[in-house]
Amino acid sequence: MFDGYLLSLILALPALGAAVLAFLPAENRSLLRNVALAACLAAFAASLLLWTGFDPSTSNMQFVEDHAWFELGGFQARYALGIDGISLFLVLLTTLIMPLCILASTHIKKHLKAYLCSMLALQVGMMGVFIALDLVLFYLFWEVMLIPMYMLIGVWGGQRRIYAAIKFFLYTAAGSLLMLAALITLYQYNVTPNFNIVEITGALSDGRISIPEGTAYWLFLAFFLAFAIKVPLFPFHTWLPDAHVEAPTAGSVILAGVLLKMGTYGLLRFCLPLFPEIALQMEPTISCLAIIAIIYGALVAMVQPDVKKLVAYSSVSHMGLIVLGIFAFNLQALEGATFQMLNHGISTGGLFLLVGMIYDRRHTRLIEDFGGLAQVMPRYAVFFMIITLSSIGLPGLNGFVGEYLTLQGTFLANPVYAAFAATGVILSAVYMLWMYQRVFLGKITGEANRQLADLNLREMAVLMPLVLLALWMGVQSSQFLRPMDASIQKVVDRIEQAREPQSFRVENLGR
Amino acid sequence: MLESFWILLLFPLAGAAVNGLCGKRLPHKLIGLIACGAVLASFLVAALAFVELTGRAADDRLVTVSLFTWIEAGEFVSRAAFLFDPLSAVMILIVTGVGFLIHVYSIGYMHGEDGYYRYFSYLNLFIFMMSLLVLGDNFLVMFVGWEGVGLCSYLLIGYYFKERFAGDAAKKAFVVNRVGDFAFLLGLFLIFREFGSITYLDAFQSVQSSYPGMETGFGILSLITLLLFIGATGKSAQTPLYVWLPDAMAGPTPVSALIHAATMVTAGVYMIARCSPLYSRAPETLLIVAVVGAATALLAALIAIGQRDIKKVLAYSTVSQLGYMFVACGVGAYAAGIFHLMTHAFFKALLFLGSGSVILAMHHQQNIFKMGGLKKYLPYTWGVMLVATLAIAGVPGLSGFFSKDEILWQAFSSPQGHPLIWALGVAVAGLTAFYMFRMLFLTFHGQERIEMGHHDDSHGEDDHSHHDAKPQEPGWSVRGPLGVLAVLSVLGGLVGLPAWLASTNQLHHFLEPSFHYQFVPEAHGEHSHALEMGLAGVTTLIGLMGIFVAYTAYLRRPHLPEQVSQRLSGLYRLIRQKFLVDEAYDAVIIRPTHWLSKNVLWKVFDDGVIDGAVNGTATVVQIWAQQLRKIQNGYVRSYATWILLGTALLFAYFSYFAA
């Protein structure tokens, strides 16, 4: 079923939803929401077919669609889509998070139609980034996604929304421009008929394309910066806390759950396979930044007075671990890092959803305004606890599998890195449990907290999938790891090839 | 039953799920029945499997079952696989057996508390996690249990979460344990790197083939074992990470008995015994283990002397007794450590449950200086507490005597032992007898100083009770388990009789196959039974002296302690203040880190430097833009001037370069 156009279908469904929304009356809010939800759910259902139809034995792109798109002065851009073991679950993560976000957006009243359209457009952009193989198409989606996110923060955000939205936009646009420059330069060296990431990677690894080391260095750096800002890696992270705090709940969830993954996905898809030699050279610097991010993010998270900001800084810490794992260059660390991308989407996405639920009720997110909530909202306390445990990597839940593999792999590459990074294990327990204690335990503080209503059915329906997934991924990790094997092994092989001296000879000949 | 022993894991898991998910709507009786039934079922399965295991030949007493692959990436594989051998058999019997008794006790103790279902759900979950810990066939499954019991401990310490101190204590326990787990994880990474597998048997076979003897100097094995041991100091409350255990007494008393005395805190001892193939080859670490164990035993025993809260006395006593077990491991006497682990599980669980029954009778009064003379009102509790106190004090014939004595003898005689460690152990034995009888005398004997507690929360039966009412013995569900544990505390030592009493030590003999891969160093010289007996005599004498001093100080001359404490006011204050260890951690680690994170990293660096640079860039651009926009002023004359200027420049440029 749908063979040959399944990816297009998944891409088109939210776009279709947005188109339908445009013709619906703006007053009928529940209709608007239901249509948007239906579009997202349909996309999710379709994306499940990707999983069932996925062949884990190959590292080749699957569900490939490749059609001519436009031609300009001999340059041919193609509509080329495909997924491999790395992007499969990122696509699924996106399609899973989106309906939950729509479901969690009932508090949005202002310009609902525009809001929902922005969400759906965002989904198209994000999906496109993960599935586009043609680099022009990739860049198009990369930029497309910026605008609805900018709108979400700038229109439906908090008090300092304009500042946060512009900061987010400028930060990422700076990265995008660097990437554009890098893409144009890369095109100069391209000898393959297409501008397809898979073909270019292949041509680079068998020497058909050779880029002088000096140029490769700058190209790597440009790509790396673009992705590092997105991750965000220390010290490019200061847009994140502002964006998170000001964004509406769904915006934060998408930001943390999916958007940040584009950075780490880019590192895995571009930086490592295209420029393995440079990646090897730059590894010490990048690993150091990643370790700083882990510890620094955790320490700064610990002292945040605002729960949402705390979660934002914890993201910096968690994403640092993912970057560290990617630059450990071995199978365990890379699979761990990819698994951790999904975990972070679930646990941090879940935390932002939870914070949003209490913000809807109390219109504050300051830890000091709460206390003893476990007595008033027992169900909320339980969900919050489980997601917290997932976030701090309790064995049996998803976080542990990713964290363990990443750290084990990092240890094999460099024990000292792993030792520093593993302090995150302690610190995450400190900042999360301390926050949990101040919000949920102890005596009920303040009259306003006494009146709070516990989670309703809709809210539990939003959280339940995440909790179940956290448990499932924590116990049956193989179902997620096996499809990654071949694709990740390919990246590892590419790095190993670059470690061998003869590949340097090829490089030097090219010069 | 032996081949399918792993089903014992399912009962408590199911019990936890049922009570946790729908316990709110179930009657209390049913909740208790489900929880106790689940643990009883586990115990029965374990017992049947144990009987079958003993029926097999000694070298055939090992069953592994692999259920599914849990984590796999390249060569790294961790299966959800379980191992039943003599060591795990003994452990699982203790866990489910004592666990069952404490479940039954809890029915009475927790009667009428809020969140009854929550309590039993957590308690069942704990039994599940602890079973994972002792039955896992690889380090990672052990680690699941290891952190899992930590979670249950967190949840149960924080059971009275409305109280601030409960939340504090719960968080402290989890975080301090995480410090240990950090080292434990690094140990696991190293094991995989060195041996290529985290499955016990594979790793042990690999270590046996690559290390025929002991490691010389501080090498990889010493590092691995040291890292694992740091993990153990967290879980098993040893120096320097013991600080969480006394605070953990904030949890309900049966929890203290089960988790913080009988089972969870002994996980570190089990881990070392399980890893004896590694430890026995790492003499450097063994020395550290023995010294840390002995030092902790002494430190905690000293602190216990000055405690006024009945549960705190027992908590420090537990830390001290765990120190003994680590001494045993440190001198290479792993079986002796497991033996003491077992007897301690009996008498310490009994002491905690007995103290719980006192606390219940006293309406949650825990200060032993506000008790006294309770023997009259609580004769049954007094009786069982006396048995347990005699057992822990090492009075000959009771279980604690045999197990403690074996450790001391090994500390003296084993190749890794040292007379100094023995001497420390003997001193601790004297202190133990003293502080335990101090507690017993202050609680049950002497003058009545009864002041009932003020436990305000709605306590079903207690609602109508008056605070001047006389303390009363609790019901059957509380008394029953106490009786069983009392019998075990007396007879438990019989499985490990010393050489001067019996030809074979049954427990040692049974455990032997589990220590198969261990390296056994040459013993230097034979020791006579007479010497062993003589040393046992010395210990016993010291213990009796401790009892006598307690008798003199707290019964015959009740003013003596005050006089002594005034004479030695400095030392006394130091002991009362628990050597200020918590305060030191707070001042040296916690507060500086917090201050640094808040004032330097966040406010100065993140907001100031990084964001300052970002916003500064924006400001600079803006300033430039402000200046440049003045050019766009809308006056035709000024535009004309600029055009003229531009043309002139272009003209000059081309005429210069064209020439």
Tens digits of residue pLDDT in B188-221: 999 999 999 999 999 999 999 988 888 888 889 9
Answer whether B167 sits within 8 Å of A442, measured CB to CB: yes
Q: How far apart are CA A149 and CA B37, in angstroms?
A: 54
Residue A52, CA distances (Å) to A1, A89, A130 in order: 12, 12, 18
| Domain extent listing, chain B | 5-458+467-576, 582-658
Answer whether A394 sits within 8 Å of B147, measured CB to CB: yes
Tens digits of residue pLDDT in B512-561: 888 888 888 877 667 788 888 889 999 999 999 999 999 888 888 888 88
Q: How far apart are CA B244 and CA B233, in angstroms?
A: 11
- Locate B322 and state its tokens: 């765990």
- Residues of B whose CB is below 8 A from A440: 161
Least confident of B339-353, B360-374, B460-474, B602-616: B460-474
pLDDT range class, residue A449, cuts 50, 70, 90: confident
Query: Exposed (0-12), middle (13-18) or buried (19+): which is B621, by Cβ within 10 Å?
Result: exposed
- Residues of A whose CB is below 8 A from B612: none
3-state SS, residue B78: strand
Average pLDDT over residues B599-625: 86
Average pLDDT over residues A273-283: 92
pLDDT at A1: 57
Answer whether B76 sits within 8 Å of A299, measured CB to CB: no
* A354 in any annotated domain: yes
Q: Which residue in B has a C-alpha nearest to residue A396's C-alpha?
A: B144
Tens digits of residue pLDDT in A456-485: 999 999 999 999 999 999 999 999 999 999
From B177's Cα to the closest Cα of chain A, the distance in A is 9
- Would you say the C-alpha torsion B314, B320, B325, B326 has a positive or negative sign? positive
pLDDT at B659: 62
The amino acid occupying position A443 is: K
A68 φ/ψ angles, rounded to the nearest 5 degrees: -65, 145
- Residues of B whose CB is below 8 A from A304: 602
Length of chain B, in residues: 659
Which helix (H) or strand (E) segment holds residue B618: the answer is helix B611-628
Least confident of A210-224, B244-258, B283-297, B515-529: B515-529
* A1 in any annotated domain: no
- Of the candidates A238, A396, A434, which has its C-beta nearest B171's C-beta? A434
Residue A181, CA distances (Å) to A56, A219, B311, B327 in order: 35, 8, 69, 66
Answer whether A423 sits within 8 Å of B174, measured CB to CB: no
Under 8 Å between Cβ of A321 and A348: no
> Which runs of E-coded beta strand occur in A350-504?
none
- Would you say the C-alpha torsion A77, A80, A86, A88 has a positive or negative sign? positive
3-state SS, residue B64: strand
Dihedral over alpha carbons B263, B269, B272, B275 (to 10 degrees):
-40
Q: Which residues 6+ apart lie within 8 Å of B141 measured at CB? A: B70, B78, B79, B80, B81, B82, B132, B135
Q: Is the pLDDT of residue B385 over 50?
A: yes
- Residues of B whose CB is below 8 A from A405: 71, 73, 76
From A474's Cα to the closest Cα of chain B, the distance in A is 8
- Locate B237 and state its tokens: 């409350």
pLDDT range class, residue B464, cuts 50, 70, 90: very low
- Taking each helix axis as running N to C, give the angle between helix B283-305 and helix B310-330, from 0 to 180 degrees, rounded to the nearest 10: 160
Q: Which residue in B has a C-alpha nearest to residue A336's C-alpha?
A: B73
Q: Is the pLDDT of residue B467 over 60?
A: no
- Into how many domains does chain A fold? 1
> Which runs of E-coded beta strand occur in A178-316?
none
Q: How far apart are CA B1 and CA A251, in angstroms?
A: 54
Average pLDDT over residues A433-438: 91
Dihedral over alpha carbons A241, A246, A251, A255 (to 10 degrees):
-10
B595 at the A interface (CB within 8 A)? no
Average pLDDT over residues B244-248: 90
pLDDT at B609: 86
Q: How far apart are CA A61 and CA B497, in angstroms?
A: 68
The residues that bridge with A68 in the sheet, in sequence order, are A78
- Would you say the C-alpha torsion B621, B627, B633, B636 has a positive or negative sign? negative
Tens digits of residue pLDDT in A50-75: 999 999 999 899 999 988 888 877 77
Q: Which residue has the tokens 């508090």?
A: A107
Q: In chain B, pLDDT over 70 holds for what percent of residues? A: 97
pLDDT range class, residue A509, cuts 50, 70, 90: very low
B415-422 long-range Cβ contacts below 8 angstroms, 24+ apart: B415/B332, B415/B521, B415/B522, B415/B523, B415/B524, B416/B283, B416/B286, B416/B287, B416/B290, B416/B330, B416/B331, B416/B332, B416/B521, B417/B290, B417/B331, B418/B290, B421/B290, B421/B291, B421/B294, B421/B327, B421/B330, B421/B331, B422/B535
- Taking each helix axis as running N to C, give the angle between helix A478-499 and helix A331-362, from 0 to 180 degrees, rounded to the nearest 10: 130
- Residues of A whose CB is below 8 A from B140: 395, 404
pLDDT at B468: 57
B162 at the A interface (CB within 8 A)? yes
Closest CA to B361 of B78, B81, B108: B108
Under 8 Å between Cβ of A141 and A129: yes
- Locate B203 and state its tokens: 């790793």
pLDDT at A503: 47
* A448 in any annotated domain: yes
Under 8 Å between Cβ of A196 and A136: no
Tens digits of residue pLDDT in A230-252: 999 988 998 999 899 998 999 99
* A266 in any annotated domain: yes
Q: How far apart are CA B296 and CA B230, in angstroms?
A: 14
Structural domain span for residue A69: 6-510
CB contacts < 8 A (A, B):
136
- Locate A425 and state its tokens: 């294990």
pLDDT at B532: 87
Residues 63-102 of B with CB under 8 A from A: 68-74, 76, 80
Question: What rounded mean pLDDT belongs to chain A?
Answer: 90
Answer whether B611 sits within 8 Å of A296, measured CB to CB: no
Average pLDDT over residues A186-201: 86
